[in-house]
């Protein structure tokens, strides 16, 4: 309680001040924000381009292959329409196909007509080779597939030995389109096959894929560069904030005044608010130090004069002035603690537990006083619990000390503030004395113990938390009514 004698607290030694300069603590980082954003953008771009490139490659390769098969299918249909059964049951063409590659051995374009138990009818381009005929299945519809039957298994060994291969050894993979047809006058099903070397198709696909890879690589590089430029340009205002903070540290500015983007402006406003808050705290600290020095100057002067003059009442003078200094130190320490703990965004205290704790403590000191409380049990205030206890303790203890035996405390919530009404049945305070009673050391009843700092401390701490305290007359009990308003946290 502020009204109690604080000599026990003042008798404790003050902790030693660490005045040694401390080295700046290096700032811990979690990596570059720009690098993180660029890597995320690059990874996402590469993933999309890879998936898109693969899908586009499948689509284009299928389209090119389908076009290649359509050309072979056209030749197959021409071969079927020109075929007829000869006198010996063989298949003959009533007209030759127009493509001269069917007449050139190893040209890469071939046809063959085959049937079970019949001699195959091949094109001259096959020369001494035959297309594989599997009679185990029936191809009523057109069937296209790849075949390696003309791949020279010894080509690798010949190339390693330095031998020159024949032209017919370089057909490689074949693309075959076939269909089974039953010709008029023939009891068997004939298989018509047209085969063409895949070299031309593979060359087209190779050029297509090379173009896709180059195009997508250039597109990916351009998108990553764009993401990097966007990142550096987007984060540039943060570098401006850093420059502004450096200017403030150099004493060239008091806050950040440069215009910022909408996304950065709230952070800058909060930073300016924090700077202004720190400046106010520093100014309050300087003012408290000056007030304390001024308050202690007069008692020290009185003690020094009495000691120099070797006055007879030196001991009484020292005791009296020491009490005065003790009151001043107690007042300024209480205010300094409240300033140090202030922070409306972080401070939070439950009203009812604090009120019950103070009620029990005052009830032990003044057992003849009846204390009644009323109000919601779930209210909270933006005040540190210790400061709330100190304010309520001073007010309720004063009501118990100077009242007639009854104290009534009402708590309510009004317009963003929690309002405390502390009423007693004492003689009250005249209206002309209600402002003066808040001054430090003023006591209207000197017959009871106290320092005269209780209400002054309550007023100062309440103002620190942007609250108010006022004195009125109690209509119900007839004594003093103290109205304390603190910011609500509900």
pLDDT at 287: 72
- How many other C-beta atoms are found inside a 10 Å radius of the C-beta of residue 62? 10
pLDDT at 282: 79
Q: Say which residues have a Cβ less than 8 Å from residue 415's Cβ, sequence separation at least 6.
A: none
Regions in the chain scoring below 50 on pLDDT: 1-19, 21, 156, 164-170, 344, 440-452
Instruction: From residue 490, give the alpha-carbon distance in Å to each of 50, 351, 412, 415, 465.
Output: 54, 11, 12, 11, 16
pLDDT at 21: 47
d(CA 488, CA 486): 6
At 423, is the secondary structure helix, strand, or coil?
strand
pLDDT at 341: 58
d(CA 256, CA 328): 39
Asked whether 349 and 381 are in contact (CB, 8 A), the reply is: yes
Q: Do domains 82-197 and 345-487 have the same CATH topology?
A: no
The CATH architecture to which 345-487 belongs is: 2-Layer Sandwich (3.30)
- 3-state SS string over 117-173? CCCCEECHHHCCCCCCCCCCCCCCCCEEEEECCCCCCCHHHHHHHCCCCCHHHHCCC
Asked whether 349 and 341 are in contact (CB, 8 A), the reply is: no
- Write the Ramachandran bin of 201: left for phi over 0, alpha for psi from -120 to 50, otherwise beta: alpha
Fold category of 82-197 in CATH: Beta-Lactamase (3.30.450)
Question: Strands 406-414, 370-374: parallel, antiparallel or unpaired by DSSP?
Answer: parallel
Which residue shows structure tokens 């004195």?
Answer: 471
pLDDT at 477: 87
Q: Which two tokens stand for residue 274?
A: 């924090």
Helix-, strand-, coil-residue percentages of the chain, each rounded to 5: 50, 15, 35
d(CA 76, CA 264): 71
pLDDT at 386: 84
pLDDT at 16: 42
Asked whether 400 and 455 are in contact (CB, 8 A), the reply is: no
Rounded to a whole number of angstroms, the CA Rg of the chain reads 51
At 419, is the secondary structure helix, strand, or coil?
strand
Cβ burial of 96 (10 Å; 0-12, 13-18, 19+) is exposed
**Does the pTM of the predicted model rise above 0.85?**
no
Q: Which two tokens stand for residue 146?
A: 């790849």
pLDDT at 459: 86
Q: Which two tokens stand for residue 212?
A: 């896709």
pLDDT in tens, 361-417: 998 888 899 999 999 999 999 988 888 988 999 899 989 988 888 999 999 998 889
d(CA 345, CA 338): 15
pLDDT at 9: 38
Asked whether 448 and 401 are in contact (CB, 8 A), the reply is: yes
pLDDT at 153: 60
d(CA 67, CA 144): 12
Asked whether 397 and 365 are in contact (CB, 8 A), the reply is: yes
Residue boundaries of the structural domains of the chain: 82-197, 345-487
């Amino acid at each position: 309680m502020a009204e109690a004698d604080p000599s026990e607290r003042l008798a404790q030694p003050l902790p030693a001040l660490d005045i040694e300069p401390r080295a700046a603590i290096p700032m811990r980082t979690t990596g570059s924000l720009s690098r993180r954003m660029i890597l995320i953008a690059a990874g996402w771009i590469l993933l999309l381009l890879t998936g898109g490139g693969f899908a586009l490659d499948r689509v284009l390769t299928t389209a090119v292959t389908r076009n290649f098969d359509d050309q072979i299918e056209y030749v197959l249909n021409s071969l079927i329409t020109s075929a007829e059964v000869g006198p010996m049951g063989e298949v003959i063409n009533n007209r030759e196909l127009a493509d001269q590659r069917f007449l050139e051995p190893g040209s890469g374009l071939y046809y063959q007509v085959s049937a079970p138990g019949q001699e195959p009818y091949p094109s001259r381009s096959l020369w001494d080779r035959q297309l594989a005929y599997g009679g185990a299945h029936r191809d009523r519809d057109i069937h296209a597939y790849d075949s390696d039957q003309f791949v020279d298994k010894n080509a690798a060994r010949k190339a390693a030995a330095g031998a020159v291969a024949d032209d017919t050894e370089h057909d490689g993979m074949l693309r075959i389109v076939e269909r089974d047809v039953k010709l008029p006058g023939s009891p068997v099903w004939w298989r018509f096959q047209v085969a063409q070397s895949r070299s031309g198709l593979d060359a087209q696909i190779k050029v297509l894929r090379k173009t896709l890879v180059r195009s997508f690589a250039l597109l990916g590089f351009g998108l990553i560069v764009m993401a990097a430029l966007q990142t550096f340009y987007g984060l540039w205002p943060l570098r401006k904030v850093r420059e502004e903070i450096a200017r403030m540290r150099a004493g060239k500015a008091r806050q950040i005044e440069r215009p910022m983007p909408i996304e950065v402006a709230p952070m800058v406003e909060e930073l300016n608010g924090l700077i202004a808050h720190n400046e106010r705290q520093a100014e309050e600290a300087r003012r408290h130090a000056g007030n304390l020095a001024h308050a202690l100057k007069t008692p020290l002067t009185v003690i020094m004069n009495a000691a120099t003059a070797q006055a007879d009442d030196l001991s009484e003078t020292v005791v009296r002035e020491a009490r005065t200094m003790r009151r001043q130190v107690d007042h300024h320490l209480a205010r300094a603690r409240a300033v140090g703990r202030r922070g409306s965004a972080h401070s939070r205290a439950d009203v009812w537990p604090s009120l019950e704790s103070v009620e029990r403590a005052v009830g032990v000191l003044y057992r003849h006083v009846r204390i009644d409380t009323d109000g919601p049990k779930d209210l909270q205030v933006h005040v540190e619990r210790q400061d709330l206890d100190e304010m309520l303790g001073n007010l309720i203890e004063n009501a118990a000390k100077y009242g007639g035996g009854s104290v009534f405390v009402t708590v309510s919530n009004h317009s963003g503030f929690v309002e405390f009404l502390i009423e007693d049945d004492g003689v009250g305070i005249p209206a002309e004395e209600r402002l003066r009673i808040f001054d430090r050391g003023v006591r209207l009843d000197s017959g009871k113990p106290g320092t005269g700092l209780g209400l002054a401390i309550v007023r100062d701490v309440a103002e620190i938390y942007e609250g108010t305290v006022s004195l009125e007359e109690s209509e119900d009990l007839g004594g003093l009514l103290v109205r304390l308003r603190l910011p609500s946290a509900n």
